[in-house]
Amino acid sequence: MAKTSGLKRTQVQGKKYDLPAEEVEIQKLVKKGLSLDAKLKKIKQELETVKKESISIAERRREGTTTVQLKAVSGSSTITFRETYVCDDQVEEISQEVGSLFDRFFTKKIDFKTSKDLKKFLEGEHAYGLKDPEPVKKLILTHVKKKTTKPNVKIVDMD
């Protein structure tokens, strides 16, 4: 059987395929990605086990400190225990009893997050009843910036 021009031969699970060169390259990348992903998952599990065992030893040696140094011949491991106090939404109810120390011990924090509606508005999909949305967009854009994140790549096994 003659090889069709422009196609490259590849073998997947014992079967041979004649595919365009780019498709063969995709197959190689997916195969390599799956292999690396499996190795990485195994290594991450092993590392997690090592960390848990190190934490267990550090907890026994802690003696009230926040940082424990575990030294070995080949190196060392530093385990830092992070502790913080978290209050509920009703903490203001005790402000009278705590008195002037309340403001010293607690701060009220308000965060703003954007919504999907803002994206629709800024990208021109919806004007939300405004005849001329441009001045409002300009005002909003003085406080909001578009953040681009690294694209996510997920490689999935076909099995």
* pTM for this predicted structure: 0.57
Residues 18-59 pLDDT 10s:
888 888 888 889 889 999 999 999 999 999 999 999 999 998
Q: By the 8 A CB rule, do 69 and 76 touch?
A: yes
For 44, the domain range is 18-82
Kindly give, in sequence order, each residue whose CB lies less than 8 Å from that of residue 62, ignoring residues fewer than 6 positions away.
Answer: 68, 81
Per-residue pLDDT at 46: 95
Number of domains in the chain: 1
d(CA 141, CA 135): 10
In a domain? residue 47: yes
In a domain? residue 30: yes
* Residue owning tokens 């990605």: 33
Q: What's the whole-number mean pLDDT along residues 2-14?
A: 73
In a domain? residue 72: yes
**What are the tokens at 151?**
């694209």
Q: Alpha helices of 3-113 — where are they, by DSSP H?
A: 21-61, 95-98, 101-105
In a domain? residue 135: no
In a domain? residue 51: yes
Residues 93-105 pLDDT 10s:
888 888 888 888 8
In a domain? residue 22: yes
Residues 121-141 pLDDT 10s:
888 878 888 888 888 888 888
In a domain? residue 36: yes
